[in-house]
Structure 1
Amino acid sequence: MGGRKFAVLLCAEDSDYVKKIYGGYFGVFVQMLEEEGETWDMFKVSRGEFPEDNEIGGYDGFVITGSCNDAHGNDPWICKLLVLLKKLDAMKKKVLGICFGHQILGRALGGKTGRATSGWNIGITQVELQSSRIFTSLKMPAFLSIIECHQDEVWELPPKAEIVARSNITGIEMFKYGDHMMGIQGHPEYTKDILLHLIERLLNHNLIEESLAEEVKSKLEAKEPDREAWKKLCTSFLKGKLL
């Protein structure tokens, strides 16, 4: 598997905490997904840094991160990202979208995204994996717990997309499109400490109520996300190891 190249399309600004402990969100993703002999690059797309058209072909796969922005917004960089994702689809490049990345991927392929009717979903959510052939080779359990932190969701997917996970809170927790594109609403890369610092940031910016923050924190202690299973799933998808 030597010599393979991957890129993280960074859609958020790094918090000081994540920068200090993990080397930024890029570091968090590389820690989860990197295997020996691979090259990982970063493009800060939310700052307008994009791979050139002649560079795209050199990459085996792309990861789109979470973001504070709305996937249904029309900021110039979001519009540019939609164009890039359509190109990657045409080239059948592997693309893994996480949270905002999942939503923007759904939108790029012709689906609809917007504010979740149920409001913020913050904490550890149990998602139910649907019977899809992508899980067969991995022997995945029927349910997996994942850290979530979002107030938007994918409302509707294009006809060719397959919903591969649901939860009581979000109808489209995960989808795949062809064998090359997959979106996950939760954060397989997050640890509980990253989420706790994120809750503090949301609180400080008055984006969530203190009562919600306290409720989430109290529930977090009793649960653990299935990080190893998600790591295996994301890595296998991105590297083309799924049957």
Structure 2
Amino acid sequence: MDLGILETGAPPGDLKNHFGSYGDMFRQMLGPDYRYSYYDVRGGKLPEQVGRHDAYLITGSASGVYDGDPWIEPLKQFIQQSSGQAPMVGICFGHQIMAEAYGGHVTKSPKGWGAGLHRYDIKRRADWMNSDSELTLSIPVSHQDQIIDLPPDAKVLAASDFTPYAVLEYPERRAISFQGHPEFSPEYATALIDLRRGTRYQQDFADAAVASLQTPNDAVRVAKWIRNFLNAPR
């Protein structure tokens, strides 16, 4: 399968030198069974047509969907054009901009930052989750924005009190999305938190977030879900 990765952000500071790009993280997570192409969406790069790749994945970003950056509207249009045509996976910012493109609404949450490892309750099981019987899901997060109004055709698969719309599916659109970051290793998530200590995060908050990352997470499980979704018969 030919997978187009739409990179809407990059690790800050020198973290990219140590951990690779967001596209690299997904490549490591999903494994060697795909052909990967990266697009610098912030630099104005998008596939010339939806059929250029078999499926697409949209990464996280430091930008908000409401920021008005010149690359955001073309990306929304590409998402709308892809609807029902090519499978699409959104992560964090990707999760949010897909919701906006499909008719939902995203804002900066008054709940503040989410960081570290968050746990969600499984509310509904999609076919690509197979026979998974776990009742919760734990993955790293790093976000302040949240979806507050769902698109009319969104199905909520996982939720928490902090993030009511943590995992979404759009069956007719052939699209799924996650607010969390299954591609973040605990080491990268820790380094990102440490970089933001004293600026975005207070010390006590950062300490608790880092401590949470020492507990087991479900990144491998989510990677399997995403592969199942991408590989499902069309």
**What are the residue-to-residue correspondences of 1:186-205 with 2, within 5 Å?**
186-203=180-197
Shift of 1:48: 1.5
Per the TM alignment, residue 102 of structure 1 is displaced from its structure 2 partner at its CA by 0.3
CA distance in 1, matches of 2:72, 2:133: 34
Given that 2:126 and 2:157 are in contact with CA atoms closer than 8 Å, whether structure 1 keeps it comes out as no
CA shift digits 1:52-83 (9 cap, x unpaired): 13xx3031111100110012222110111111
Whether 2:234 is the aligned partner of 1:238: answer no
Match of 2:130 among 121, 133, 137: 137
How far, CA to CA, are the matches of 2:178 and 2:212 in structure 1? 22
TM-score of the aligned structures, taking structure 1 as reference length? 0.89
Q: CA 1:219–1:5 in structure 2 vs 1: closer, same or farther (change >3 Å)? A: closer
CA distance in 1, matches of 2:2, 2:232: 13
Cα distance between partner residues in 2 of 1:219 and 1:94: 32
TM superposition shift of 1:16: 5.4
Structure 1 residue 136 displacement after superposition: 5.5
Counterpart check, 1:114 vs 2:114: no
Listed one character per residue, the Cα deviations across residues 202-226 of structure 1 (whole Å, up to 9, x for unaligned) are 236x2222232122223333x1211
Aligned equivalent of 2:22, options 20, 25, 33: 25
Tell me, which stretches of 5 or more residues in structure 1 are unaligned? Answer: none
- Structure 2 CA distance for partners of 1:241 and 1:143, relative to 1, 3 Å: farther
Q: Does 1:11 align with 2:38?
A: no
Question: Aligned ranges for residues 131-210 of structure 1 at < 5 Å?
Answer: 131-134=124-127, 137-179=130-172, 180-203=174-197, 206-210=199-203
User: 2:120 matched to which residue of 1?
Assistant: 127
| Greater displacement, 233-242 / 150-159 | 233-242
| Structure 1 residue identity aligned to 2:69 | D
Q: Deviations over 1:164-198 (max 9, x none)?
A: 11012110001111251111000011111111111
Q: Counterpart of 2:176 in structure 1: which amino acid?
A: M
Query: In angstroms, what is the RMSD of aligned CA positions?
Result: 1.9
Q: Which runs of 4+ in 1 moved over 6 A?
A: none
Matches within 5 A, 1:218-237: 218-221=211-214, 223-237=215-229
1:83 maps to 77
Structure 2: runs of 5+ lacking an equivalent: none
Verify the 8 A CA contact 1:166 1:174 in the aligned structure 2. yes
| Separation in 2, partners of 1:214, 1:241 | 44
Distance 2:210 2:69 in 1: 33
The partner residue of 1:39 within 26, 35, 59 is: 35
- Give the structure-2-normalised TM-score: 0.92
